[in-house]
Structure 1
């Protein structure tokens, strides 16, 4: 990752995702999108799948976006972005366009892990120079907090309820980064809204690589009503996700993998905060038993073992 910004003061003062949308107080995705657009600048075209950000930021006749913006269906952001990128290429080749605008597709976990996975895979495999941003609030929040492929194990949602038989979601969270990296793209990264400088630098790095092919950034974006926590705790909970090792920060850069602070120290488990610090602040995990917590800890340890093997192979 190239270093474009070192402190918050280095970020542009210009705002391309304006205030006053209909997002919930403490909305994680809206915080993330604001940082992303500050880093990307004005010379971009946004292709946004239906989801929380779209329905809250584009209520006709108003819009929160001050850059070119295309709203598409839940499942086809990657396909539409592929078309936009191809059209720009043709116009430039014919001398009909001088602008160097770059295409950014934005979708939530429902539109990425599940409904839009086929379109995303096609975009990556074909090599379109598009930055795809996944804002992951770990459920279909826009439609009523239904579970998705990105919902973590044991989490309560309206379609993974807690009762005498079920104790939240039965399945584990899908490893979207491994799926994306398996397409051999130039650049992929995880990011967290609690680390805005890391996020901004990854956005700029990804945009710089688009002449070589697609890029992908997976941003953790907590949701107060869906995760059941007080709205003022969004950044704290996001930070704990990384500090406990639940959501590590790393990059896949041209076949090399590297970890970013603080995750670069977390191969040593003693450097991670207890996972209970993350879980206990969220009502969606209020039902967990000690056995459930131990299973989550085991899954996190297994994931870090897997990541350590990747580092040995691709580090």
Structure 2
């Protein structure tokens, strides 16, 4: 007799896009952390589509923070629970996008981790500010076209590399940092469960392809998430006390072209003169990941 599916703690009655990456990320996060969870959710697509007044898709306690202060709000929730003598096994989980995590809210997040507050931060990295018009963030990958780093006659899109947020959080002395992907649900749930059971500030950086901002068919969200891992552009690993302890091996890495060609944001690399050289630069990023993280 098969086991019943675990509860998701976020209902399907939200207003997210078909194939919404944020819905997947929130679902897998809560399946990992369980029902005794308080969610802090900064401004972004997930907040907007899950709580259109007067409705809410959340089936656990949920609080909305500003873009910039999710780390501070989570710190306050933890302090309040301790003061009330109710911390026990209650998990405090922040679920924020790359903009609120890597850019606008990095100060509050850094302070919370430096102080050692006991909560888990999950960054849903869809690699741009999707809720406000697909503007570039520090999570936007090299060569991607956004509304503030558009491809054109003199530009191949975003000229800067992604910010290495997991390394930054590990440098804060976090006991557990991991990358995840919504294309690998069981792996993500396992890592969230592990993170929330460790005392102290823990961090999960989850890759979350956005059908709207990236430009792909709504049925392909998880397929494209898997491609990012299979091309080694998104390595899956765990770090404990600053050291890499687990890595998902990729026996036969696929060329990055297979990932890039699925998305409108990289279309210019296949049509513009000089695009081949830009693709080689992106392949070099994947090759560096293979070497640095020991993916083979």
- Short-chain TM bin: over 0.9
User: Is 2:256–2:286's contact at 8 Å kept on the other side of the alignment?
Assistant: no
The question of 1:172 aligning with 2:161 is answered: yes
Give 1:253 deviation, angstroms. 1.8
1:62 aligns to what? 55
Distance 1:226 1:44 in 2: 30
Distance 1:113 1:274, change over 3 A: same
> 2:39 maps to what in 1?
46
Query: Secondary structure at the residue paired with 1:179?
Result: helix
Q: Post-superposition shift, 1:12?
A: 4.8
Aligned residues: 289
RMSD (CA atoms): 1.6
Contact 1:11 1:39 in 2 (8 A): no
1:157/1:284 contact within 8 Å kept = yes
Q: TM-score, normalised by structure 1?
A: 0.88
Is this contact kept in 1: 2:209–2:224, CA < 8 A?
yes
Render the CA deviation track for 1:269-305: whole Å, top value 9, x for unaligned: xx21111110000010001111110011112223433
Match of 1:79 in 2: 72
Aligned pairs for 1:42-191 (under 5 A) are 42-92=35-85, 97=86, 100-191=89-180
Taking the aligned partners of 1:142 and 1:86, their CA distance within structure 2 comes to 31
Partner deviation per Cα, 1:181-220 (whole Å, 9 max, x = no partner): 11111101000111111111101101110x2x11100110
Which of 235, 249, 263 lines up with 1:264 in the alignment? 249
The residue that corresponds to 2:272 in the other structure is none
In structure 2, C-alpha distance between the alignment counterparts of 1:181 and 1:256, rounded to whole Å: 9
Query: Runs ≥4 in structure 1, deviation > 4 angstroms?
Result: 9-12
Structure 1 residue 256, shift from structure 2 partner = 3.3
Q: Is the 8 A contact 1:12 1:39 kept in 2?
A: no
User: Structure 1 residues 202 and 10, CA, compared in 2 at 3 Å: closer, same or farther?
Assistant: farther
Where structure 1 has 5 or more consecutive residues not aligned to the other structure, the ranges are: 1-8
1: CA distance, partners of 2:26 / 2:240: 23
Q: Would the aligned equivalents of 2:124 and 2:205 in 1 still touch at CA under 8 Å?
A: yes
